[in-house]
Amino acid sequence: MTTGVARRAERLLGAAVSATSQVAGGDIAHATKIRLSDGRTALVKSLPGAPADFFATEAAGLRWLADAGGVPVPEILAVDEECLILRWVEPGRASAEAAAALGRGLATTHAAGAPTFGAERDGYAGRLPLPNRPAPTWGEFFAVRRVLPYLKLARDRGAIEPEDATSIEQVAGRLPRLVPEEAPARLHGDLWNGNVLWGLPVGAPPGAETVPHLIDPAAHGGHRETDLALLALFGLPHLPQVLEAYEEASPLAEGWRDRLGLHQLFPLLVHACLFGGGYGPRAAETARRYL
């Protein structure tokens, strides 16, 4: 596998690969750190047999987020149908200062906006298809393109009980009354803890301040509370500092903390589809708080 990755990287980057090492943490794609003869270090994400647009979609999302001028993303060095090559970001330590920078940067990213709720192309949630066809309102988009498709899949896979599914359907129908409408924000779309990379600037000396980066997006136009809800779902270092800095830069509508569970229905249903376990009941328990 590593030999094939090195050869593909050499062809795409026009430089010899002098060293490779596997990187832990990828749930879907294989991650390989490579050192090039020209001195660069890069990360190769590869997945043989991936859908033809799998990595192109990820690269497009990264570029769209980068264009916002908010939270940085790793530089894209190359992409083709089986891999994405990013400039290596040396991991650093999460700090309160870096968390505040993440909050301010995320506010800037969101404020760059989007043409509509949705995106020009569909995406992926792991290996699952992610529908992004635009909708006129956020409530319709989140119900029809996020909650209900994955609720149906969870049902089909036996990952949720019928009465639990009914509770979620009822909440999906009430979304327009529960969440204040806003203009479409430029979202990462899958902003859990693992997709925030606390990295060091290129060439930084030891002890340099960490710079947060965004990776692995499911980028689309949506409601900015969604990204914040995803950060809160599975925990993030120094989350209070992130949220405080965000609100200082871009105040949120009153009651937003009480609405985070609504936005978390989608990732909980995705996890129910992928992993089963207690995610289906947890999604239903969350939904019932809003009935």
Residue 125 pairs with which residues in a beta bridge? 128
Task: Output the CA torsion sign for 140, 146, 147, 149.
Answer: positive
- Residue 202 CB: number of other CB atoms within 10 A? 13
* Annotated catalytic residue 190: yes
* Cα–Cα distance, 157 to 153 (Å, whole number): 6
By C-alpha distance, which of 105, 113, 102, 106 is closest to 186? 113
Find, among 104, 138, 158, the residue nearest to 263 by Cα: 138
Both tokens of residue 253? 């509508």
Alpha-carbon span 80 to 45, nearest angstrom: 11
Backbone conformation region of residue 185, classed left if phi is above 0, alpha if psi is from -120 to 50, else beta: beta
| Distance from C-alpha of 80 to C-alpha of 32, rounded to nearest angstrom | 16
DSSP E strand boundaries for the chain: 17-22, 30-36, 41-46, 76-79, 83-87, 123-125, 128-130, 185-187, 196-199, 211-214, 220-222
Residue carrying structure tokens 């979304």: 175
**Residue from 80, 164, 190, 227 carrying the catalytic annotation:** 190
Active site residues: 190
